[in-house]
Chains A and B, each alone.
Chain A
Amino acid sequence: MNGDSWQLHCPIPIAEDAARITLAHGEGARLTRQLIERHIRPAFESPELAELPDAAHLTAESRRLAVTTDSFVVSPLFFPGGDIGSLAVYGSVNDLAVSGAKPRWLTLSLILEEGLPLVLLDRVLESVAAAAKCCGVVVVAGDTKVVPKDAADSLFLTTTGVGELIEPVPPGPSLIQPGDALIVSGPIGRHGVAVLCAREEIEFDPPPTTDSAPLADPIAALRRAIGPQIRAIRDATRGGVSAVLHEWAAACNLTMNLHERDIPVGSDIRGACELLGLDPLHVANEGTFVAVVAADAVEDALAALRSFPQTEGAAAIGQVVDRKIAPVTIQRTLGSERPLDEPAGALLPRIC
């Protein structure tokens, strides 16, 4: 008997060129090795992955590092303007950037659902590799698991990002002061609306696109331009701009006051939000951040940001003031500022 063709753990022969992920791809044997060698490793050019060691060895220039981790379960995997692969890279890269770090390394964990077409996996991996290259980060370690059909939705990704902190690190919300200005790096609400429309097959022509993009370069430029006059930066992901402002307001015990007319929202996103009964301030972004800066640094901050395509729509949207009726307030058409509520949970489009 030929030992190569006899597999104790798998009574049914599996074609090596199977077009879909099978449970055998996750069992650590021949097919796992093939999956890694034929599909995963070729996508990445890092020397750390060449030998497939148990752990990557890294050499940092800075004495202080930043580490972040994030999982990505977005459905559908591909949506207008982006996909789960680039999203998983930008998500961790942006978390490092807003924390004051220069992103350097990433790990990538894959949870694959049985039956996933390998061409889809390849497309996602290509997107991860291209996004990592564009951000100047290296994928140095990874893991692959396969779960039975229906135990996952196609494919889940987890990335862990490691970056080197660049001094002076933005101090964070505790140093926010009354009179400081609120800045947003571009039009808000794009990612959440794009994914919602793609998932629920709500057809707009043209379809709204995500803002998913790397923010490390614009943030580095912002820090070079106004340095210590930055109080806090945060990418406005789940819960949108409103969630970030509520967190900061709670941390500094001041009120964040917005002017609705100054908040950049694309007309496609406004239209979709009006139709679906959503507030763009509550909708997720994946390539847009909020910052609090000293009032006299606003113009320099906006000028620095506007030289990058992903932040050319940066705008000042309000001020920090002494605590008023609510942690976050907004001035709309008439009357005084009203409270802006904190996003509660899943966005449920209204009936009429």
Chain B
Amino acid sequence: MKYVDEFRDPGAAEQLAAAIRKLASRRWVLMEVCGGQTHSLLRHGIEEVLHNTVELIHGPGCPVCVTPVEAIDFAQQLALHENVIVASFGDMLRVPGSRETLLGVRGRGGKVKTVYSPLDAVMLAQRHPDQQVVFFAVGFETTAPATALAVLQAERLELENFSLLVSHVRVQPAMEALMNSPDNRVQGFLAAGHVCTITGFDTYEEFVQQYRVPVVVTGFEPIDLLEGILECVRQLEAGRAEVSNCYARSVRQEGNQSAQDIVTQVYEIDDRPWRGFGTVPRGGYRLRAKYQKFDAEKRFEGVAPNSELPVIAVETCRAADVLAGRLRPTQCPEFGLHCTPDSPLGAPMVSSEGACAAYFHYHSTDADQEFASRHPSSIASGDAAK
């Protein structure tokens, strides 16, 4: 398949891995920002073959995972409200709020609809003029243009029954928060290629000047990731810290101007709470005053969270540390025991982009060893029988 096979060629991948191993004089600590990159690194065995060459810390780049509990609770509350349909991306349905998931709410009669595009939610509102349709707008700079477009479309159609529950987040402020944290170990970033497709990478120049770490714009296929890692290691070995684009087939320096314009027209930058991080200054978007009539939080101000249900607080879940890159998923005491993709405790185990789910599905080398050392009975029972 074009644009996939050539970026998964095992021979080319092995050559790049060998080049990285040859170049690295020490085990550099890199962070891949996006959860999609984490999955690809584990799925295609890259972390394993470079295990002794680079340490890959998995970044906070799963927008579903960092959506605050309060927003999820509010969405659930709306779904149970009379005449309200909550429309959401599929991933969001299984993420636990403080009490349950949107999927659970749907089972209790809540109206929750999976959509593939925010414009589908606008069409849903057109088809159901007697219902209020609330789109749960989560995601990075990648999805913000599409949700902004949905707002403009709803305005054009003069829809009174469409609104957004905005929980958009911005990547670069989170990277700044990580660099400012006292226990930071990251020496170089693989920046999220799809985000840069929209935003471009001019904005990273200042970041690189300030923090003196390489930022390499990187894609998602094995060859993309290996080229990104190679460039990062090359800079680190040479003592350089620059912005570099290893995803040129998708990313231009200035980004996608028309997408940026739509976002700027509809949204303004705002401080935003991230699950596991706390409030990240300038870490998200809110609707501009002109579009506040589409703000679900304002439209449904009177809807209070249902306080009758017990709050599920699992103190042993270390999702916050995992999201901040302070802990490997396998180091969490609940990993694989009480927390699995079937019954997740924290968001990173839920989302298909989450770091814990990635480890559970693809067990990296050290994950196997750590997991096996802590849970010897749960692995490979067949060995005992053979």
Q: Which residues of A contact B (CB under 8 A)?
A: 200, 202, 253-255, 261, 267, 270-271, 274, 277, 322-327, 332-336, 338-339, 341, 344-345, 348-352
Contact A324 B138, beta carbon cutoff 8 Å: no
- A334 and B360 in contact, given A253-B385, A271-B1, A348-B114 (Cβ under 8 angstroms): no
Contact A334 B342, beta carbon cutoff 8 Å: no
Task: Chain B residues near A326: list those with CB within 8 A.
Answer: 363, 379-380
| Chain B nearest Cβ from A262, distance in angstroms | 13
Interface stretch of the complex, out of B8-16, B23-31, B310-318: B8-16
| 8 A-B pairs (CB sep. < 8 Å) | A322-B382, A323-B381, A324-B380, A334-B48, A338-B48, A344-B342, A348-B114, A349-B114
Task: Chain B residues near A336: list those with CB within 8 A.
Answer: 45, 48
Contact residue among A271, A334, A351 (Cβ-Cβ distance under 8 Å from B138):
A351
Contact A350 B385, beta carbon cutoff 8 Å: no
Contact A333 B10, beta carbon cutoff 8 Å: yes
Q: Which residue of chain B has its CB nearest to the CB of A348? A: B90
| Chain B nearest Cβ from A269, distance in angstroms | 10
The 6 A-B residue pairs whose C-beta atoms are closest, nearest first, are A323-B382, A335-B45, A348-B90, A334-B45, A335-B48, A333-B44
Instruction: Report the bound CA distance from A270 to B2 in whole Å.
Output: 11
CB of B170 within 8 Å of the partner chain: no
Instruction: Report the bound CA distance from A323 to B385 in whole Å.
Output: 9
- A339 and B143 in contact, given A333-B45, A348-B90, A350-B90 (Cβ under 8 angstroms): no
Contact residue among A202, A333, A349, A352 (Cβ-Cβ distance under 8 Å from B139):
A352
| Chain B nearest Cβ from A64, distance in angstroms | 32
| Chain A nearest Cβ from B162, distance in angstroms | 19
Instruction: Report the bound CA distance from A348 to B143 in whole Å.
Output: 17
Contact residue among B1, B9, B90, B383 (Cβ-Cβ distance under 8 Å from A323):
B383
Task: Decide if the interface of chain B is mainly helix, strand, loop or mixed.
Answer: helix
Contact B49 A351, beta carbon cutoff 8 Å: no
Contact A254 B382, beta carbon cutoff 8 Å: yes
Task: List B residues 260-301 near A (Cβ within 8 Å).
Answer: none
CB of B189 within 8 Å of the partner chain: no
CB of B121 within 8 Å of the partner chain: no
Contact B91 A334, beta carbon cutoff 8 Å: no
| Chain A nearest Cβ from B19, distance in angstroms | 13
| Chain B nearest Cβ from A282, distance in angstroms | 11
Contact B45 A348, beta carbon cutoff 8 Å: no
Instruction: Report the bound CA distance from A344 to B361 in whole Å.
Output: 11
| Chain A nearest Cβ from B174, distance in angstroms | 16
| Chain A nearest Cβ from B339, distance in angstroms | 13
| Chain A nearest Cβ from B87, distance in angstroms | 12
Task: Chain A residues near B74: list those with CB within 8 A.
Answer: none
Contact B49 A325, beta carbon cutoff 8 Å: no
Task: Chain A residues near B228: list those with CB within 8 A.
Answer: none
Instruction: Report the bound CA distance from A218 to B4 in whole Å.
Output: 33
Task: List B residues 340-386 near A (Cβ within 8 Å).
Answer: 341-342, 351-353, 360-363, 368, 379-383, 385-386
| Chain B nearest Cβ from A93, distance in angstroms | 33
Instruction: Report the bound CA distance from A44 to B1 in whole Å.
Output: 44
- A334 and B89 in contact, given A348-B352, A352-B140, A352-B353 (Cβ under 8 angstroms): no
What is the size category of the interface that chain B forms with chain A?
A: 35 or more
Contact residue among A267, A332, A341, A349 (Cβ-Cβ distance under 8 Å from B1):
A267
CB of B194 within 8 Å of the partner chain: yes
Contact B36 A325, beta carbon cutoff 8 Å: no
Contact residue among A202, A274, A332, A344 (Cβ-Cβ distance under 8 Å from B43):
A332
Task: Chain A residues near B8: list those with CB within 8 A.
Answer: 333
Task: Chain B residues near A325: list those with CB within 8 A.
Answer: 363, 368, 379-380
Contact residue among A322, A327, A339, A348 (Cβ-Cβ distance under 8 Å from B362):
A339
CB of B64 within 8 Å of the partner chain: yes
CB of B154 within 8 Å of the partner chain: no
| Chain B nearest Cβ from A88, distance in angstroms | 26
Name which of A253, A324, A352 has the most chain B CB atoms within 10 A of its CB: A352
Q: Which residue of chain B has its CB nearest to the CB of A275? A: B116
Contact A352 B63, beta carbon cutoff 8 Å: yes
Task: Chain A residues near B382: list those with CB within 8 A.
Answer: 253-255, 322-323, 327
Contact B43 A338, beta carbon cutoff 8 Å: yes
Task: Chain A residues near B140: list those with CB within 8 A.
Answer: 352
Task: Chain A residues near B342: list those with CB within 8 A.
Answer: 344-345
Contact B92 A351, beta carbon cutoff 8 Å: yes
Instruction: Report the bound CA distance from A202 to B114 in whole Å.
Output: 12
| Chain B nearest Cβ from A334, distance in angstroms | 4
Contact A335 B142, beta carbon cutoff 8 Å: no
Q: Which residue of chain A has its CB nearest to the CB of B43? A: A332
Task: Chain A residues near B10: list those with CB within 8 A.
Answer: 261, 333-334
Instruction: Report the bound CA distance from A334 to B13 in whole Å.
Output: 7
Instruction: Report the bound CA distance from A339 to B13 in whole Å.
Output: 20
Instruction: Report the bound CA distance from A350 to B383 in whole Å.
Output: 36
Q: Which residue of chain B has its CB nearest to the CB of A255? A: B382
Task: List B residues 1-60 near A (Cβ within 8 Å).
Answer: 1, 4, 8-10, 13-14, 17, 36, 42-46, 48-49
Contact residue among A253, A274, A352 (Cβ-Cβ distance under 8 Å from B143):
A352
CB of B188 within 8 Å of the partner chain: no
Contact A351 B341, beta carbon cutoff 8 Å: no
Q: Which residue of chain A has its CB nearest to the CB of B194? A: A352
Instruction: Report the bound CA distance from A261 to B94 in whole Å.
Output: 31
Contact B4 A352, beta carbon cutoff 8 Å: no
Task: Chain B residues near A274: list those with CB within 8 A.
Answer: 4
Contact B143 A351, beta carbon cutoff 8 Å: yes
- A351 and B139 in contact, given A322-B386, A324-B380, A333-B8 (Cβ under 8 angstroms): yes
Contact A200 B116, beta carbon cutoff 8 Å: yes
Task: Chain B residues near A255: list those with CB within 8 A.
Answer: 382
CB of B93 within 8 Å of the partner chain: yes
Instruction: Report the bound CA distance from A316 to B10 in whole Å.
Output: 20
CB of B222 within 8 Å of the partner chain: yes
